[in-house]
C-alpha cells in the first residue's frame, strides 16, 4: 500500500478494542464462573487465535453481532487439546496461555508464524519450569514447543529480570492454578490489565509498591471468584489510537476526537511523551469501565520539538516506539529514546526496522547500543518499507507517508489484521490517502453510488441522508417509512400490529405510493412501526424493496438502522450518526414544540431510551455500526458541520463527484 498527500484529518472516531485486554478477557472468562458477555473485543487475528486456542482447550465461546460469550470452566477446568495450538503472530496469546496451562497434567503443543517462531520463550519457560512445568523447545527456547504442566505445581516468588507484562501475567495465571501464594516482583511497573481484570471477576490480587520503584504482585491459587456471569466492555486500544494521534499531529490543520480509549497510566507513555514534545492532546470525560480508566482524546495538529525519552518510560509505551519515531522525524531537533533493548524481540527486531525505514525515508537516525536518536525536520519519504510482517512498522510508516514530501510505500500490510483490521478504512475516512497498489479504487462514472446512513432515533441521520441525496443528486429512501407503511396498513385494516402474518403480508405489498401517505407521521403509526420492525419476517420481506431501491441507476442514499450492516453491506460509504441520548431528546423535544405539540422533556427522554433499547436488543438486525462505518457524533456538531464532514469524506475518495 502507498500513503501520501493526506488532507487535514478531521473526525470523531473510535478505535478497535484493546488487544491486551481482549486476550485477558477471553482467558479470564474461561477461568470464571458462569457465562461472561464481552463487547468491544478486538476481532483481530491475534485475539481470534486466543479464542481458537481456548476452544481447542474445551472452552465454549460464541460470537453473535460482535458480542462474545464465554462459558467459564473454572480454575482447573481446561481440557487437553487434540491438536497443535497455532498462535499465528501473537506473543501475548502464547506466553499467557503457557502460564495458564502450566499446572495442567497434560501436554500442549504450540507453534506460530515465522515471526513468532523467532521470538524467545525462555523468559516464560524459566519461571514456569520453577513451578514444575516441563518444556521442550527448539534451540534458543523458540516455538514450536511442547509444555507439560505439573499436577504438583509449586508457588514461586519470582523477580522478573526484564519488565514484561506478558511474563508477569503468565506467572499469575499459573499461580491461579497452584496451591499457595505466587508472587511476581517487577523491576518497573508494567501494564496491569491481568490484575485489574482478575479483580473485576472477583479474584483477590495483592499489589505492593516497593521503595525502589519495583512492584510486587501476589495471587493465591484455587480461589473462587466473587462474581459470576460478568459483563465486560473492552475499551479502545491506546496502541491503535497512537497511530491516529501521531497522524493528526503531523498533518497540518488536523483535529481528531477519539472516543473511548483505555488510558491506564501504564499504557499512556506515548501521550506523556508527545505532550512533552509540544503536542496538543486533551483527555476528556475520564471514567472507569470494567476496572480500567477510559477517556475520550482530542488531538490537534501541533509543531513538535525533540526531547529525550527516559528509559523509565519504556514499559508504558513499549509498543509505541515505532510511531513515536515517526513523530520524531517531523519534530524540530533531536529526539533521543533510551534503553530500547526489548524492541529487538518484538514481532520483528523493531529497533533495526525503525532505523532502516527512517533512513530509507531520508531521515537522519542512528542507534548507539540500545539508544535511538532521530533528527527531525521535513522528511522526504519516497521509499518502500520492508515491514518484516510487523503490524506496528506497517502502520507507522503508512502514517509517515501522510506528511512526507513524497509518498511512502509499505511492502506488506497483511500483518495489520493482527491488531487493527479497519486501519486503512478508518484513516482514509478521516482524510488519509492510503491506496492499495494492487487493487486501486478507480470509480467509473457509470457505477451508481450507494450511501448508507444508520443511527438511532433522533440522531439527525434523516436530515443528513436527505442532504447527501440532494447534493450528489441521488435517490433517497427513508427506510423507517417502510416500517411505518407496514404499521399503517395493519392499523387501517383494523388488525393488531402484533399479528406477524398480517404484518408480513403488508410488508410484501408496500409500494412507492404508500411511502408518501401523510398518515405515516401519526404517533400511533410510529408505535405500530416499532413493533412490526422487530419481526424477522417483516424485515426479510422489506429487504428486496430496499435492495432494489439501492440498485437505482442514479445511485441512492438509504437511511435506517441496518443499512450498512444488512441491507447494503457493500455500500460505497457507510455513515453511522449517533448522539447522546440527552442531545437527541433535546432535539426531538424542540422539534415537537416547533410543530406545536406540547410534551414534557422527560417523557421524550424516556420514549427515546425505550426505543434505543428495543433497537439494540432486537434479535434480528440490532442497531449497531457496521465495522467499516464512519461514525459521527452529532451531539457536538450541528447539521451543517455533519454534512460538511460527510461531503469531504465522499469527495476525498471520489474527487470527480465534485463536478
List contacts with ligand S3P (CB under 6 A).
Answer: 20, 92, 164-166, 169, 191, 318-319, 342
* Residue with Cβ nearer ligand S3P (123 or 611): 123
Q: What angle do CA 28, 29, 30 make, to 5 degrees?
A: 85
Using alpha carbons, select from 261, 364, 371 the residue that is nearest to residue 310. Answer: 371
- 319 tagged catalytic: yes
DSSP string, 599-633: --HHHHHHHHHHHHHHHHH-SSS-S---TTPEEEE
Q: Does residue 133 contact residue 148 with C-beta atoms inside 8 Å?
A: yes
Smallest separation, CB 342 to ligand S3P (Å)? 6
Q: What is the DSSP letter of 416?
A: G
Beta-carbon count within 10 A of 22 CB = 29
Residues 6+ apart with CB under 8 A from 586: 601
Q: Does residue 262 contact residue 235 with C-beta atoms inside 8 Å?
A: yes
Interatomic CA distance for residues 413 and 111, integer angstroms: 22
From the number of C-beta atoms within 10 Å of its C-beta (0-12, 13-18, 19+), residue 108 rates as buried
* Residue with Cβ nearer ligand S3P (75 or 318): 318
* Residue with Cβ nearer ligand S3P (342 or 364): 342
Smallest separation, CB 23 to ligand S3P (Å)? 6
Phi-psi region of 371 (alpha: psi -120 to 50; beta: other; left: phi over 0): beta
Using alpha carbons, select from 248, 266, 267 the residue that is nearest to residue 258. Answer: 248
Smallest separation, CB 574 to ligand S3P (Å)? 30
Q: Does residue 118 contact residue 142 with C-beta atoms inside 8 Å?
A: yes
Smallest separation, CB 225 to ligand S3P (Å)? 21
From the number of C-beta atoms within 10 Å of its C-beta (0-12, 13-18, 19+), residue 322 rates as buried
- Reduce the DSSP state of residue 281 to 3 states and report it: strand
Query: What ranges make up the beta strands (E) of 60-106?
Result: 60-64, 67-71, 85-86
Interatomic CA distance for residues 566 and 176, integer angstroms: 43
Retrieve residue 1's grid coordinates.
500500500
| Cα of 22 vs its chain's centroid, Å | 10
Interatomic CA distance for residues 306 and 452, integer angstroms: 44
Smallest separation, CB 194 to ligand S3P (Å)? 7
Interatomic CA distance for residues 117 and 429, integer angstroms: 35
Smallest separation, CB 164 to ligand S3P (Å)? 3
Smallest separation, CB 165 to ligand S3P (Å)? 4
* Residue with Cβ nearer ligand S3P (170 or 503): 170
Interatomic CA distance for residues 659 and 282, integer angstroms: 38
Query: What ranges make up the beta strands (E) of 272-363?
Result: 280-289, 292-300, 308-309, 334-337
Q: Does residue 210 contact residue 185 with C-beta atoms inside 8 Å?
A: yes
Exactly one of 18, 113, 319, 478 is catalytic; which is it?
319
Place of cell 472516531: 13
* Residue with Cβ nearer ligand S3P (171 or 427): 171
DSSP string, 357-389: HHHHTT-EEEEETTEEEEE-S---B--EE--TT
Q: What is the DSSP letter of 392?
A: H
Retrieve residue 518's grid coordinates.
401523510
Which residues form the catalytic set?
A: 319
Amino acid at each position: 500500500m502507498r500513503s501520501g498527500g493526506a488532507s487535514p484529518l478531521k473526525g470523531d472516531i473510535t478505535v478497535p478494542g484493546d488487544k491486551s485486554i481482549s486476550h485477558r478477557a477471553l482467558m479470564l472468562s474461561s477461568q470464571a464462573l458462569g457465562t461472561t458477555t464481552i463487547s468491544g473485543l478486538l476481532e483481530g487475528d491475534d485475539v481470534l487465535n486466543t479464542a481458537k486456542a481456548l476452544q481447542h482447550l474445551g472452552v465454549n465461546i460464541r460470537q453473535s453481532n460482535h458480542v462474545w460469550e464465554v462459558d467459564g470452566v473454572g480454575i482447573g477446568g481446561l481440557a487437553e487439546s487434540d491438536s497443535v495450538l497455532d498462535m499465528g503472530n501473537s506473543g501475548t496469546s502464547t506466553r499467557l496461555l503457557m502460564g495458564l496451562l502450566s499446572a495442567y497434567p497434560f501436554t500442549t503443543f504450540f507453534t506460530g508464524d515465522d515471526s513468532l517462531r523467532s521470538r524467545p520463550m525462555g523468559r516464560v519457560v524459566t519461571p514456569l519450569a520453577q513451578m514444575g512445568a516441563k518444556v521442550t523447545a527448539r534451540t534458543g527456547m523458540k516455538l514450536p514447543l511442547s509444555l507439560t504442566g505439573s499436577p504438583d505445581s509449586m508457588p514461586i516468588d519470582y523477580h522478573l529480570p526484564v519488565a514484561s507484562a506478558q511474563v508477569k501475567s503468565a506467572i499469575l495465571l499459573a499461580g491461579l492454578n497452584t496451591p499457595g501464594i505466587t508472587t511476581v516482583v517487577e523491576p518497573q511497573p508494567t501494564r496491569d490489565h491481568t490484575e485489574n481484570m482478575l479483580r473485576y471477576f472477583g479474584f483477590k490480587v495483592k499489589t505492593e509498591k516497593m521503595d525502589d520503584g519495583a512492584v510486587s504482585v501476589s495471587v493465591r491459587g484455587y480461589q473462587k471468584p466473587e462474581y459470576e456471569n460478568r459483563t465486560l466492555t473492552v475499551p479502545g486500544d491506546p496502541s491503535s489510537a497512537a497511530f491516529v494521534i501521531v497522524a493528526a499531529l503531523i498533518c497540518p490543520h488536523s483535529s481528531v476526537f477519539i472516543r473511548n480509549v483505555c488510558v491506564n497510566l501504564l499504557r499512556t507513555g506515548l501521550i506523556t511523551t508527545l505532550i512533552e514534545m509540544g503536542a496538543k492532546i486533551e483527555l476528556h470525560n475520564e471514567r472507569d469501565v470494567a476496572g480500567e480508566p477510559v477517556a475520550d482524546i482530542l488531538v490537534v495538529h501541533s509543531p513538535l520539538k525533540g526531547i529525550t525519552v527516559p528509559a523509565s518510560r519504556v514499559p508504558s509505551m513499549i509498543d509505541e516506539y515505532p510511531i513515536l519515531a515517526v513523530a520524531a522525524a517531523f519534530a524540530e531537533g533531536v529526539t533521543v529514546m533510551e534503553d530500547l533493548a526489548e524492541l529487538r524481540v518484538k514481532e520483528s527486531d523493531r529497533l533495526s526496522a525503525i532505523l532502516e525505514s527512517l533512513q530509507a525515508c531520508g531521515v537522519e537516525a542512528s542507534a548507539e547500543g540500545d539508544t535511538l536518536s532521530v533528527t527531525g525536520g521535513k522528511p522526504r519519504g519516497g521509499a518502500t518499507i520492508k515491514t518484516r510482517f510487523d503490524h506496528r512498522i506497517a502502520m507507522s510508516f503508512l502514517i509517515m507517508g501522510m506528511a512526507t514530501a513524497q509518498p511512502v510505500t509499505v511492502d506488506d500490510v497483511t500483518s495489520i489484521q493482527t491488531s487493527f483490521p479497519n486501519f486503512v478504512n478508518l484513516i482514509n475516512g478521516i482524510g488519509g490517502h492510503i491506496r492499495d497498489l494492487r487493487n486501486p479504487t478507480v470509480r467509473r462514472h457509470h457505477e451508481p453510488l450507494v450511501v448508507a446512513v444508520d443511527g438511532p432515533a433522533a440522531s439527525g441521520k434523516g436530515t443528513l441522508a436527505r442532504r447527501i441525496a440532494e447534493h450528489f443528486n441521488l435517490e433517497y429512501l427513508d427506510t423507517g417509512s417502510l416500517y411505518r407503511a407496514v404499521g399503517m396498513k395493519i392499523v387501517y385494516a383494523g388488525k393488531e400490529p402484533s399479528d406477524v402474518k398480517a404484518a408480513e403480508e403488508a410488508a410484501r405489498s408496500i409500494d412507492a405510493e404508500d411511502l408518501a401517505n401523510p398518515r405515516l407521521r401519526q404517533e400511533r403509526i410510529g408505535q405500530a412501526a416499532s413493533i412490526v420492525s422487530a419481526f424477522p419476517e417483516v424485515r426479510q420481506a422489506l429487504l428486496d424493496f430496499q435492495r432494489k431501491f439501492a440498485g437505482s441507476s442514479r445511485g441512492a442514499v438509504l437511511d435506517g438502522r441496518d443499512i450498512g450492516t444488512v441491507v447494503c453491506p457493500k455500500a460505497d460509504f457507510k455513515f453511522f450518526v449517533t448522539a447522546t441520548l440527552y442531545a437527541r431528546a433535546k432535539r426531538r423535544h424542540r422539534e415537537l414544540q416547533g410543530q406545536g405539540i406540547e410534551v414534557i422533556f422527560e417523557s421524550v427522554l424516556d420514549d427515546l431510551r425505550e426505543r434505543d433499547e428495543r433497537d439494540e436488543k432486537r434479535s434480528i438486525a440490532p442497531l449497531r455500526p457496521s465495522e467499516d462505518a464512519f461514525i459521527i457524533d452529532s451531539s457536538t456538531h450541528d447539521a451543517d458541520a455533519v454534512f460538511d464532514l460527510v461531503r469531504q469524506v465522499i469527495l476525498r475518495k471520489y474527487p470527480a463527484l465534485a463536478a
